[in-house]
Amino acid sequence: MYHIEKQIERLLVEKYGGAETEGFRADIERLKTGEPYEYVLGYADFLDTKIDLSYKPMIPRPETAFWVKSAIEELKTKKGNLRLTDTFSGAGNVGVALLKHLPNATVDFFELDPNLKTQIEENILINGIDLDRARVVIASDVQGLTGKYDAIFAVPPYVPYEALPDLDPEMINYEPHLAFFAYDDGHEFHKILIEKAYDPLNEGGTLYMEADMDHNEAITKMAQGTKWSKLEFWSDPYGATPNVVLRK
């Protein structure tokens, strides 16, 4: 109950400016049923961008922001124009952050759910970014990549289907399962990316890919014998190393 009370206090300030309106009271009931706070608020913050969630995409996670920020700092050291791609885009938060913080970049967004194409485009515009710097394509994993990229970003589904009962009720009941679950013990899309993301990268390009904290051994085995020159595991805010960096 304490958790809900704190959410109600935040919502009153963040969405309603302190005014206890009918809409506010209706939103309290949404929170009490377990709907995620970010959906009730209507947006999430992600690396100094505002990400609208009207179409109910997966809610951006601070753990993702943590490693994307490190990747942005790395890309800032590169000279010239950057051609980047945000695969498994969801709300487009990763790609929007790239566009905001890397003014020399263009981003191709790839998302399987056709309903989220509009969501991504809205989030680009909400953050004052020119749509000419982006291309939003309805496609899965690396399908639709054209030409060469300097970096490929991926937050693929990586939760095994058998883990469904262990997830938070908010995730089970409200967030899109398409964004979470993968076959092959959660490695369905990791395998595709490791196999197929190499060729679309420029020399010296990088695949930045999110995984789970217990995936390192399996991903190391997947990368063995491939053309990738270097495999790194970057830490999350809690000291684990689930984030995968593969360099060409």
pLDDT of residue 141: 84
- The mean predicted confidence, pLDDT, of the chain is 95
| CA–CA distance, 210 with 6 (Å, rounded to integer) | 30
Query: Would you say residue 79 has pLDDT above 60?
Result: yes
243 Rama class: left (phi>0) / alpha (psi -120 to 50) / beta: beta
Query: Would you say residue 138 has pLDDT above 60?
Result: yes
Q: What is the mean pLDDT of residues 131-143?
A: 94
**Which run of H or of E encompasses 85?**
strand 82-87
Query: Would you say residue 140 has pLDDT above 90?
Result: no
What sign results for the dihedral spanned by CA atoms 122, 153, 47, 240?
positive
pLDDT of residue 213: 87
SS3 assignment, position 189: helix
Q: What is the mean pLDDT of residues 79-101?
A: 97
Query: Would you say residue 101 has pLDDT above 70?
Result: yes
Q: What is the mean pLDDT of residues 104-120?
A: 97
Please report, rounded to a whole number, the percentage of residues in the chain having pLDDT higher than 90.
90
| CA–CA distance, 174 with 153 (Å, rounded to integer) | 25
Domains, the chain, in order of start with CATH, read 60-247 (3.40.50.150)
Query: Would you say residue 2 has pLDDT above 90?
Result: no
CA dihedral 114, 35, 166, 221 (to 10 degrees): 40
Query: Would you say residue 1 has pLDDT above 70?
Result: no
| CA–CA distance, 111 with 128 (Å, rounded to integer) | 21
Query: Would you say residue 56 has pLDDT above 90?
Result: yes
Query: Would you say residue 31 has pLDDT above 70?
Result: yes
pLDDT in tens, 142-194: 888 999 999 999 999 999 999 988 888 989 999 999 999 999 999 999 999 99
Cα 191–Cα 55–Cα 171 angle in degrees, nearest 5: 60
Q: What is the mean pLDDT of residues 222-243?
A: 95
Q: What is the mean pLDDT of residues 37-53?
A: 98
Q: What is the mean pLDDT of residues 100-128?
A: 97
Q: What is the mean pLDDT of residues 75-97?
A: 97
